[in-house]
Each structure stands twice: as C-alpha cells, then as structure tokens.
Amino acid sequence: MKHKRVAIVTSVASMIGQFNMRNIVLLQEAGCEVHVICNFQEGNTCDSKSIQKLQHTLSGMHVHQHTWSCPRKCLPGKCMKAYVCLYRIFRKYSFALVHCHSPIGGALARIAAYQFGTPVIYTAHGFHFYQGAPWKNWLLYYPVEKILSFLTNVLITVNQEDEQFARRYLHAGTVFRIPGVGVDSRYFSTQDIDGAGKAAGMEFRQIHRIPDDAVLLLSVGELNKGKNHRVVLEALAMLEEEEKEKICYLICGQGELKHQLSAYAEKLHISRQVRLAGYVADIRPAYQAADLFLFPSVREGMPVALMEAMAAGLAVIASKIRGNRELIHKKGGLLIQPQDAQGFARAIRKLVHWKTGMPQKLEAMGAYNRKQILKYDQSIVDQQMRCIYHQMIDGSLISRKVLAEKRK
C-alpha cells in the first residue's frame, strides 16, 4: 500500500464504541491514519450523552469522523442516499483499507470499496441467515452476502456456525473466526481483594430499589424483538406467588420496546418484580449486584453481554442458539429454546432454589464460567486482529482472486 489511510465503516456510532475502539488503537499503532464513518445522530443503542462522549474520545485520539445516514433496515431510497454519501467520502480520501461492519453498512461499504479498488475486511457479527432463521432472512440476506463475498478480501466471523458456513458457501478471499471484541476478563471479574466490587453492587441495588435479600436476575441488551425479553416476563408469570416474592428482574438497555415491555409486565401482574433500568453507561456494578444472568436472545453472533457476565462469575440461563452454545456449557449454566417460556420458568425456579438453599452450586457455576471465558480475553482478540491488519497493510492477505475481479 502506498499510504495507510484506513476507514472503519459502521451503520451507527454505537458500533464504533462497542466493537472498534481497540481496532482503532491497533491501526494507529501500525502507523495508520484512522477515519470512522457512521451515523452519530440516529439508531444508536446508547444515549446521546454516550455518543457525545464517544465523539470527544475519538477527537482526543485524532480519529477523523464522518457522518452518514445509513439505515438499519433495507430501504432502497435511504440506502441509495447513504451510498452516494459514502462514495463521496471514499473518493475524497482514497483509503488504503476499509474495515466494515453490520449488514447494510457492510454491503454499501464493500460496493464503494469495489468501485475504488480498495481492499476490504468485513466483520459479520452474526449472519442474519442461520439455522432456524426465518425464510425471509434466507431469501434476502443470503443471496446478497454470497454476491458481496466476491468483493471481500477478508471475512471475519465471530462463531463456529458462521465460520463453517462461510468457508463452504461464500467466496471471500480469506475467512477467519475471531470471537467479536472478546472481553476484558480482569475488568469484569468480581474477585477483588478490597471488597470494592461488592460495595459497588450493593450501591447499584440501592439506586434501582432492589432489596438486599432479593434474588436479582439480570439481562443486558437492547429492548427489541431479537433480545426476546418478553419470554422471561412470561416465565416469571408462571412462577408461584411465593417464588415471585423472592425475585427481582432487571433489564439494562434501551430500545423501541420499552413501553410495550412495561405494559406487558403490568398485564402479567409482575410489574413489582420487573425493573427497566434504561441504558447503563458503566455496566460492571450491575453484574456485581446480580445473582443470575438471563440471556434469552433469538439471534446472536458472539454476545458481548454474555461474555461479560461470565467474566463476572455469574451462573447463566441463556437461549440455545448460535454463539450462546459455544460459551455456555452444562457446568456454567442452562440452555433453553428461545420461545420456551415454561423451560425458562423451570430453569429460573431451579437456580433460584440453588441460590437460596445451595448457594455453593451457583458459585461453582460462576467460577467455571470465569475460567472458561479466559480463552476469549480481549488480549487474545487484539493479537489476532493485529496480525490481520499487518498482513492487509503489507498486502499478503489481499486475495489474488478478488483483485483479479476488481481489474475486470
């Protein structure tokens, strides 16, 4: 490469904060001038203050920031408008490398990169087509990804199922499996010597009006259909009244379903047990306050929140889906089919009983999870990404097949 101006392209700014801050550091360490292209105004999974803080942090890191209105849904008119904006940015800055994320943002970025002959890395944070996915996903997302894979020098998958599928059915120059951004296992560990973690957990309970003797069930994730919080509400409603009295269910996250979930809890007569905390900037005290972690998603790639909960030493009840299956083993938690409310109710009843009657069993599960998650530590992920970036910068990972297609 003649120069090292690199673009990281995502649909929304929260994906920069969640998935790319370490990548920015790695690229800068390699001598690159980093540009981020994302939507700073709309569609983010965190609040506006967090976005402003992110922009301030990026400015302090001397990262060039560009805004584009990339839709999160496939709307032809908005997609075309977003592509024109992206094309102009690419034409102005002549990037040497593009690293893109998210289905629509990744699609538009790869097409624009193709137009300029720019090498591309695409990180797929969980394909929208997967075992058990709706047929509409297969009809829409799979053909598009198959075509775009011809324009992809490096495809990074985040779980085993996607990696196997990509190697067999897609045509990217090189396929890797890297577990997302990994997790800072030391930061989230509750094994602190001075008791600060326990104190922070107690303070968190007080802030959110959670009784000291309540068994706190925690979920972390955006309030949308994919995160499937509704099934946990249905499970809680199936418990006996005396069981409900022991429990408090806290969801940390914001999203379009906030009012619907609140109304549904009221309808099920469990509003006393349910707390919607909204977006929580520092999530670590929530893990330190919790007794169990619930993760009922219907679709995941490699879930960051689940890895954080494991690092915090929590026992887990999770949906039996791609990504979750790789992380949660029998010694660390229970896996339930995503729509099986009765299964979730049985699992909650079992682990709550262990918490109140046999806490050593729950502690053993948490200790197992804390040990298992070490193989997903962000230091390992950083080393893998560092190698990929260096090989892309020196040209050794640029597929001859992709380059040949671009010259035609």
**216: helix, strand or coil:** strand
- Amino acid 3: pLDDT: 57
**What is the b/e burial string over 304-314, where b = at least 16 CB atoms within 10 angstroms of the residue's CB?**
bbbbbbbbbbb
- Amino acid 403: pLDDT: 44
DSSP calls for 280-320: -S--HHHHHH-SEEEE--S--SS-HHHHHHHHTT-EEEEES
pLDDT digits (tens, 9 = 90+) for 94-109: 999 999 999 999 999 9
- Amino acid 244: pLDDT: 94
Q: What Rg value do the Cα atoms of the chain yield, rounded?
A: 22
**What is the b/e burial string over 56-87, where b = at least 16 CB atoms within 10 angstroms of the residue's CB?**
eebeeeebeebebebbeeeeeeebeebbebbe
Closest CA to 218 of 95, 312, 343: 312
Angle of helix 229-237 versus helix 341-357 axis, rounded to 10: 70
Report angle CA 305, 303, 227 to the nearest 5 degrees: 80
DSSP letter assigned to residue 32? P
**What is the b/e burial string over 268-277, where b = at least 16 CB atoms within 10 angstroms of the residue's CB?**
bebeebbbbb
| Angstrom distance (rounded) from CA 74 to CA 354 | 46
DSSP calls for 242-295: HHHTTEEEEEEB--TTHHHHHHHHHHTT-TTTEEEEE--S--HHHHHH-SEEEE
Q: Looking up tokens 């959110």, which residue turns up?
A: 208
Q: What is the set of domains in the chain, with CATH numbers?
A: 5-182+377-407 (3.40.50.2000), 185-376 (3.40.50.2000)
- Looking from the CA of 23 toward its CB, the CA atoms found within 13 Å total 27
Contacts for 5 with CB less than 8 Å, ≥ 6 apart: 32, 33, 35, 93, 94, 95, 96
| Angstrom distance (rounded) from CA 187 to CA 377 | 11
Rounded-to-5 percentages of helix, strand, coil across the chain: 50, 15, 30
Angle of helix 103-116 versus helix 135-148 axis, rounded to 10: 20
pLDDT digits (tens, 9 = 90+) for 193-230: 456 777 888 999 999 999 999 999 999 999 999 999 99
Single-letter residue type at 381: V
- Amino acid 191: pLDDT: 60
What stretches of 47-134 show up as alpha helix (H) in DSSP?
A: 48-60, 76-93, 103-116
- Amino acid 193: pLDDT: 46
**Residue 246: is it exposed, middle or buried by C-beta count within 10 angstroms (0-12/13-18/19+)?**
middle
**Residue 135: is it exposed, middle or buried by C-beta count within 10 angstroms (0-12/13-18/19+)?**
exposed
Q: How far is CA 210 from the centre of its chain?
A: 27
| Angstrom distance (rounded) from CA 10 to CA 33 | 17
pTM: 0.87
pLDDT < 50 stretches in the chain? 1-2, 193, 400-408
- Amino acid 194: pLDDT: 55
